[in-house]
Amino acid sequence: MSHANELNCLWIPNVREKLKSLPFNIEEAWKNKNEAFQVPDAPGRDLPVLERGRRGERRGFSHPEGQARLLHDLASIELQAMELAYRSFVEFPNAPSEFREQMAELALSESEHLTLCLDRLEEYGFQWGHWPVYLSLWNSVSREDSLLDRLLIVHRYLEASGLDAGVSLLRKLAQSHSPALTQVVKKITEEEVDHVAFGSRWYQFFCREQRLDADHDFKQRLSVLSVQLPKRFEVIDPQVRQRAGFTEAEVKAAQELREQFLQEKKSSI
Ligand SMILES: [Fe+2]
Ligand SMILES: [Fe+2]
């Protein structure tokens, strides 16, 4: 690892060290984007990463271990979201400066979510790495993505389905009498509305710039990219999606893809 990459949060294996590298890293990235800030094939981890599909038994949210496990899963998501924001920041150096500033803020917001999850996890008496971690979010993007692809995949698919999941999780947690956990999920879900809205706003902006009809482009692009996306079966929540800048046509396109995934699942059984 070169000295430059020691500053780059994507390469740093230790999660707390990664967090410490922000936000100075982002300033450095701005200055040294050509040489220093390369994107690795997989982000640094100092614990084993498992393939999907081996998640094992989980305890319910009424049990402290089930609550800690949820925090661990959330931490893994927040970590990848932070890295993906950082990665887009590095890979799209020619995007408008306002976009880049907002992307840098988004990376910082994810780092706060991650810190919150790790701190609460430790309060439950568990360490990061107690359960397996995955890279399914990171693996959804590719070096070949256009900026529109990336905005769709990260903010308008992954984060948007996270938002649907957050809303339904809050409903479940309402019966679990775990105010500390509920507070974390509530804060993250509220702030994720802004992350998805960031994606919607800029997606629609870049479509206008390229003289594309955003509704039509979203439906088409979602369909093309769907082969590389992890399948999400969470019920789409139109209200929260609309708060996050989705048009009615875009909500419909998201619902149709979910239907398609459900059909595929049914016919594969
Ligand atoms: Fe987040
Ligand atoms: Fe986010």
Measuring CA to CA, which residue among 257, 252, 221 is closest to residue 238? 252
117 confidence band (pLDDT: 50, 70, 90)? very high
Give the end of a domain, one of 110, 140, 170: 140
Q: What is the mean pLDDT of the chain?
A: 90
Centre of ligand 1 from the C-alpha of residue 83, in Å: 11
pLDDT by residue (tens digit) across 168-219?
A: 999 999 887 889 999 999 999 999 999 999 999 999 999 999 999 999 999 9
pLDDT by residue (tens digit) across 63-95?
A: 889 999 999 999 999 999 999 999 998 899 889
Query: Do 202 and 253 have their domain in common?
Result: yes
Query: Do 165 and 253 have their domain in common?
Result: yes
Query: Do 236 and 131 have their domain in common?
Result: no
Residue whose structure tokens are 């084993």 = 48
Give the end of a domain, one of 121, 140, 159: 140
- The residue segments making up the domain with residue 215 are 141-269
Q: What region does 142 belong to: left with phi over 0, alpha with psi -120 to 50, or beta?
A: beta
pTM for this prediction: 0.93
Query: Do 128 and 170 have their domain in common?
Result: no
Query: Do 222 and 244 have their domain in common?
Result: yes
Query: Do 76 and 164 have their domain in common?
Result: no
Interatomic CA distance for residues 225 and 149, integer angstroms: 8
Measuring CA to CA, which residue among 159, 71, 62, 153 is closest to residue 109? 159
Could you give the number of structural domains in the chain?
2
Residue whose structure tokens are 């955003």 = 214
Query: Do 5 and 92 have their domain in common?
Result: yes
Query: Do 215 and 129 have their domain in common?
Result: no
Centre of ligand 2 from the C-alpha of residue 184, in Å: 14
3-state secondary structure of 72: helix
Distances (CA, A) of 98 to 142, 203, 205, 266: 24, 14, 12, 44
Distances (CA, A) of 24 to 7, 53, 58, 81: 9, 36, 38, 18
Interatomic CA distance for residues 234 and 217, integer angstroms: 23
Query: Do 56 and 124 have their domain in common?
Result: yes
Give the end of a domain, one of 80, 108, 140: 140
55 confidence band (pLDDT: 50, 70, 90)? low
Rounded mean pLDDT, 24-42: 67
Distances (CA, A) of 144 to 92, 141, 148: 11, 8, 11
Least confident of 33-37, 144-148, 185-189: 33-37
Q: Of the ligands numbered here, which is closest to the C-alpha atom of 154? A: 2
Torsion on CA atoms 31, 85, 240, 219, rounded to nearest 10:
100
Centre of ligand 1 from the C-alpha of residue 239, in Å: 19
DSSP lists the bridge partners of residue 49 as: 133
Centre of ligand 1 from the C-alpha of residue 113, in Å: 5
How far does Cα 146 stand from its chain's mean position?
Answer: 18
- Cβ–Cβ < 8 Å for 120, 71: yes
27 confidence band (pLDDT: 50, 70, 90)? low
Query: Do 78 and 204 have their domain in common?
Result: no
